[in-house]
């Protein structure tokens, strides 16, 4: 955990010169926290489906490929 603040600052600096930043310093800082979410409200009010982890990762991967973030 001690490495995250300086690494995030370095990432923010590097992103100033990068054409396509891979990750922001804020994303790295957030990774140091345990964050939990409950999707029951989205399921109940919006009808969003609950996907198994594997399916969610596959859909996310496909989105990144389709939008040119991965090849």
Residue 5 in this model has a pLDDT that exceeds 90: yes
Residue 66 in this model has a pLDDT that exceeds 90: yes
Q: What are the Cα distances from residue 46, in Å, to 12, 16, 56, 59?
A: 36, 38, 18, 19
Which tens digit of pLDDT belongs to each residue from 19-49? 888 899 999 999 999 988 888 998 899 998 8
Residue 70: closest CA among 61, 27, 14, 55: 61
Tokens, residue 15:
């992103």
pLDDT score of 51: 85
How far, rounded to the nearest angstrom, does the alpha carbon of residue 19 sit from its chain's CA centroid?
19
Tokens 């995030």 belong to which residue?
8
């Amino acid at each position: 955990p001690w490495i995250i603040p300086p690494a995030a600052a370095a990432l923010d600096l590097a992103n100033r010169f990068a054409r396509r930043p891979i990750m922001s310093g804020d994303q790295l800082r957030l990774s140091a926290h345990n964050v939990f979410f409950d999707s029951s409200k989205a399921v109940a009010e919006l009808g969003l489906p609950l996907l198994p982890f594997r399916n969610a990762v596959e859909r996310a991967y496909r989105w990144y490929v389709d939008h040119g973030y991965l090849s």
